[in-house]
């Protein structure tokens, strides 16, 4: 009887391991830019993502990271970085303070973001989006694979730096390297969806957010741009591309 009991226990452990393995989500980060990008990652709920938290992604390179069910966090691209052998240094855009972003440190705006909330099981939906609420520094897109449901493409293919209004431009050596959000530039309730404008009914698109939305229809252009910007998919892996091309 003992042998049977042990066999059942081992089967249960194996089954649980398989269930956990199946629920892990694979992220592939791909650099389609003509320059090096230093991806940043941030876990927002204490569920960590596996892999290096600081690295350079040269043009054409890819890297894979994985996260367990229940992960919630964001990815972004840092540009114009310079780090020494200890990882100390900074980036012109998307900086987080070091090569390996410290725990809890996000990318300094203006920065393009990919945001995820991964379901705890493959039967439930993941939620994801590309957000320009904190501004824009580099094109970014998300494509799902192997999932079920709507599984929409989310992204900003257009180069917003090329059409950024002058008052929102961030310059470096005579070139536009990022585009601020109107909230960051003007810090008013109307642009930041705060105070008297803190609800979907009272915070409407502005001329600035419309520029972002027109260029990148599937990305969040301001805080309450949910209807056309939140994507869902169940049981998928995800390809995150910097400088994606139109498909």
Mind listing the pLDDT tens digit for each residue in 49-105? Answer: 876 667 899 999 999 999 999 999 999 999 999 999 999 999 999 999 999 988 788
Q: Which residue has the tokens 């995800």?
A: 238
Distance of alpha carbon 234 from alpha carbon 99, whole angstroms: 32
The superfamily (CATH) of domain 25-242 is Thaumatin (2.60.110.10)
Rounded Cα–Cα distance for residues 153 and 207 (Å): 25
Q: What is the rounded distance in angstroms from the CA atom of residue 38 to the CA atom of residue 223? A: 26
Beta-carbon contacts of 47 under 8 Å, excluding residues fewer than 6 positions away, are 67, 68, 70, 71, 72, 73
| DSSP β-bridge partners for residue 72 | 117
* pLDDT score for 53: 66
Instruction: Tell me what percent of the chain is helix, strand and coil, each rounded to the nearest 5.
Output: 20, 30, 50
| 125-139 residue pLDDT tens | 999 999 999 999 999
- pLDDT higher than 80, residue 17: no
């Amino acid at each position: 009887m003992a042998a049977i009991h042990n066999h059942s226990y081992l089967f249960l452990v194996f089954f649980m391991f398989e269930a956990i393995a199946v629920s892990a989500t694979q992220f592939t980060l791909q650099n389609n830019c003509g320059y090096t990008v230093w991806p940043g990652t941030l876990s927002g709920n204490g569920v960590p993502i596996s892999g290096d938290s600081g690295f350079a992604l040269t043009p054409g390179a890819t890297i894979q990271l994985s996260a367990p069910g229940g992960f919630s966090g964001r990815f972004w691209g840092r540009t114009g970085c310079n780090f020494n052998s200890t990882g100390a240094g900074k980036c012109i855009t998307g900086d987080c303070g070091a090569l390996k972003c410290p725990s809890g440190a996000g990318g300094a705006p203006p920065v393009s973001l990919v945001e995820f909330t991964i379901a705890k099981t493959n039967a439930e939906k993941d939620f994801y989006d590309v957000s320009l609420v904190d501004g824009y520094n580099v094109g970014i897109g998300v494509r799902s694979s192997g999932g079920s449901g709507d599984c929409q493409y989310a992204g900003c293919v257009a180069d917003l730096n090329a059409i950024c209004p002058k008052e929102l431009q961030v310059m470096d050596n005579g070139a536009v390297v990022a585009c601020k959000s109107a909230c960051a530039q003007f810090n008013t309730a109307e642009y930041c969806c705060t105070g008297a404008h803190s609800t979907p009914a009272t915070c409407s698109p502005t001329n600035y957010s419309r520029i972002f939305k027109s260029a990148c229809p599937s990305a969040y252009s301001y805080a309450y741009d949910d209807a056309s910007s939140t994507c869902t998919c169940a049981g998928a892996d995800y390809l995150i591309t910097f400088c994606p091309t139109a498909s």
